[in-house]
Amino acid sequence: MRIGFILAGLILIALGGAAFAGKLDFTHDKEVVKIGGLSASVKEEKSLPQWLGVVGVAVGLALLGAGALRK
C-alpha cells in the first residue's frame, strides 16, 4: 500500500505540473451544422485549466507524504 501511495503521488505531481505548464491539450469535435445526411464539424483544441494542475500537484504531494510516513 505504501508503494502505491508513492507511485500515485509521483504520477499526479507529474501530470499536475504538465497541466500547470499548459502542456496537456485535447481535441473536441463539435458538430456545427447537420442537414439531412450532410454534416459539418469543427475540431476545437482545448487545454486543462492551470488551477487543475495546482490541485493535482497538491494532492500528489499529500499522497507522497502519506506514503513516506506510512510504516
How high is the pLDDT of residue 23? 86
Given a contact cutoff of 8 angstroms between Cβ atoms, the answer to whether 24 and 47 are in contact is yes
Query: With the C-alpha atoms ordered 45, 51, 57, 62, is the resulting torsion angle positive or negative?
Result: negative
Dump the DSSP string for 28-53: EEEEEEEETTEEEEEEEEEE--HHHH
Sequence ranges of the domains in the chain: 2-69
Could you tell me the mean pLDDT of each successive run of 10 residues in the chain, 71 residues long?
90 92 87 88 89 93 90 71
How high is the pLDDT of residue 18? 92
Cα 13 to Cα 64: distance, rounded to the nearest angstrom: 9
